[in-house]
Structure 1
Amino acid sequence: MINVLLSGCNGKMGQVITRLADGFNGLKIAAGFDINNNINNPYPVFTSLKECNVKADVIVDFSNPKAFGGLIEFAQERKIPVVMCTTGLSSEQTHVLKDEVSKHIPVFFSANMSIGVNLLIDLVKKAAKVLEGQFDIEIVEKHHNQKIDAPSGTALAIADAINETLEEKCEYMYDRHSRRKKRGRQEIGIHAVRGGTIVGDHSVIFAGNDEIIEINHTATSKEIFGVGALKASLFLAAKKPGLYSMTDLIAEIK
């Protein structure tokens, strides 16, 4: 049985994971960490990681970038693998996680914890390779009106995956209203929509002469991210130090 320390346990995603973990084979939430301890959970919750005395095999973090430093310090001191699900990390934090922390403990990091989104990324990479030079590429992401970062980390991950596939690298174009000129040939347009309670919608448009190919993924519930995080926990618990992603998890499933 894998014991999980859930960071951000009283947030929206933390509560989704708490519910999903009940009956999830092979693991349990052994403890939680959250600065707001105003919810009754079926496990002990600590408002300070220094006070946590519960043995954990893996940490799942769905908290806030502000908690990054303390969480990583705690994980490295206790040699606990980390499934990093928090969005909006700075480039510096991402660098530390990928290039420094992963040398000491196992780290699972994906821009999106949905298996479906990561399959979409695999599909658009194949499409980009086949269609390169013949089709313009645009990415449109839609999220709820409470989301702070834009564009989404997932949209950027899709763009990066496409760019890595192309022989001629593209420039990311986030806003065209200030540029009164035609679309450049080597551009990937990235557009953010915020409204209502949209959980998450990502579309990749390949626009060619007289034909359009569009690949979409729509999330209708936050549960898909919770399931992905729990599967990542089972995957990561026994791994050696290193950087792992949803691509590695999917490959193991296959």
Structure 2
Amino acid sequence: MKKIILRGCNGRMGQEITKLVKLNEQTEIVAGVDVTNTIDNGYPVYLSFEEVKEKADVIIDFASPKNISEMLEFAKVNKVPIVLCTTGLSENDIRAVEETAKEVAVLRSANMSLGVNVMIKLLKAAAKMLESADFDIEIVEKHHNQKLDAPSGTALALADGINEVLSEKYDYKYDRSEDRKKREKKEIGISAVRGGTIVGEHEVIFAGLDEIIEIKHTAYSRVIFAKGAVHGAVFLADKGPGLYQMSDVIS
């Protein structure tokens, strides 16, 4: 049985993972870390990694980027792999994660769902075939009104996946309100919608002359992300140092 420390255990995703792990015979949450410890999860919850005494096989992180360095240091000292699901990381955070991956296994994914990672593969194939046919690329992402970062980490992952296969690097365009000019050919437009209780919706539009191709993924509940995180934890628990992706888990 894989023992898990869950960072962000009292948040929305943390609660989904807690429910799921209780039904999974392969996993057990031995401790949680959160800014509050007012919820009885059936395991101890600490305000800081400095307080954690339990031994674990893997950390699942579904919290905000704040104080991420504390978790990374704990992982290095105790040689505990990390499933890093947090988005909105700064460039300094990303560098710190990459340094940590030299000492322990780190699975970093902007989106833990199987469907989104299959979507990225489809987008790569489409972008490569359509590049010479002058198709414009636009990404529209939609999330609930409580989401802090925009655009979403998933939208950026989709754009990065497309950019990987293009012969020339495309720029990302987040706002067209300040520039009164035509669209640049080598750019990917990324638009963010925030409203209501939308769990997550990502649509990529390939717009050509007199034809449009749309590839879309819709999440109807957060359970799909929780499932992916738990699968990732089981996969990563026995892995050596390195930076892993959800595509490694799928394959």
Pairwise TM-score range, normalised by the shorter structure: over 0.9
Secondary structure of the residue aligned to 1:180 is coil
Instruction: Return the alpha-carbon distance in structure 1 between the equivalents of residues 167 and 48 of structure 2.
Output: 48
C-alpha offsets along residues 115-154 of structure 1, whole Å, 9 cap, x if unaligned? 1111101100000000003211100000111111111111
Which range is displaced more, 191-200 or 47-56? Answer: 47-56
**For residues 67 and 114 of structure 1, what CA distance do their matches in structure 2 show?**
25
Q: Distance in 2 between matches of 1:141 and 1:23?
A: 32
Matches of 1:48 and 1:180, distance apart in 2: 49
For residues 200-215 of structure 1, what are the structure 2 equivalents within 5 Å? 200-215=200-215
**Structure 2: segments with no counterpart, 5+ residues:** none
Q: State the Cα deviation string for residues 91-138 of structure 1 (Å, max 9, x = none).
A: 11012212x110000001011111111110110000000000321110
Matched, 1:188 2:188: yes
Deviates more, 1:235-244 or 1:181-190: 181-190
Within 5 Å, which residues of 2 pair with 1:112-131? 112-131=111-130
Which runs of structure 2 are paired with 1:55-94 in the superposition (5 Å)?
Answer: 55-94=55-94
Aligned sequence identity (%): 58
Separation in 1, partners of 2:159, 2:227? 25
Could you say which residue in structure 2 is the equivalent of 1:162? 162
SS in 2 for 1:42: coil
Residue pairs, 1:1-254, within 5 angstroms: 1-98=1-98, 100-134=99-133, 135-251=135-251
Q: Distance in 2 between matches of 1:140 and 1:94?
A: 24
How far is the alpha carbon of 1:242 from its aligned partner?
Answer: 0.5
Question: SS where residue 139 of structure 1 aligns?
Answer: strand
* Contiguous gaps of at least 5 residues in structure 1: none
RMSD of equivalent CA atoms: 0.9
Q: Secondary structure at the match of 1:204?
A: strand
Give, in whole Å, the separation in 1 of the partners of 2:239 and 2:119. Answer: 26
**Structure 1 counterpart of 2:177, which letter?**
H
Spell out, residue by residue over 1:20-68, the C-alpha distance to the aligned partner (whole angstroms, 9 max, x if none).
1112131111111112010011111122222211110100011121120
Distance 1:120 1:237 in 2: 26
The residue matched to 1:133 in structure 2 has which SS?
A: helix
State the shift of 1:82 in Å. Answer: 0.6
Work out whether residues 140 and 202 of structure 2, in 8 Å CA contact, stay in contact via their aligned partners in 1.
Answer: yes
What SS is found at the alignment partner of 1:37? coil
Aligned counterparts of 1:11 and 1:86: Cα–Cα separation in 2:
12
Q: Partner letter of residue 71 of structure 1? A: M
The 2-side partners of 1:81 and 1:136 are apart by 40
Shift of 1:81: 0.5
What is the identity, as a one-letter code, of the residue corresponding to 2:219? Answer: A
CA–CA separation in structure 1 for the residues paired with 2:176 and 2:88: 24
CA contact (8 A) 2:21 2:28 kept: yes
TM-score, normalised to structure 2's length?
0.97
Higher mean C-alpha displacement, 84-93 vs 226-235: 84-93
Q: AA paired with 2:54? A: V
Aligned equivalents of 1:120, 1:140: Cα separation in 2: 14
Alpha-carbon offset, residue 210 of structure 1: 1.1
Name the CA distance, whole Å, in 2 between partners of 1:43 and 1:130.
51
> In structure 2, what is the Cα distance between the partners aligned to 1:25 and 1:133?
50
Instruction: Give the count of matched residue pairs.
Output: 250
2:138 touches 2:188 (CA, 8 Å); kept in 1? yes
Amino acid at match of 1:246: M
1:139 is aligned with what amino acid?
I
Q: Distance in 2 between matches of 1:48 and 1:169?
A: 41
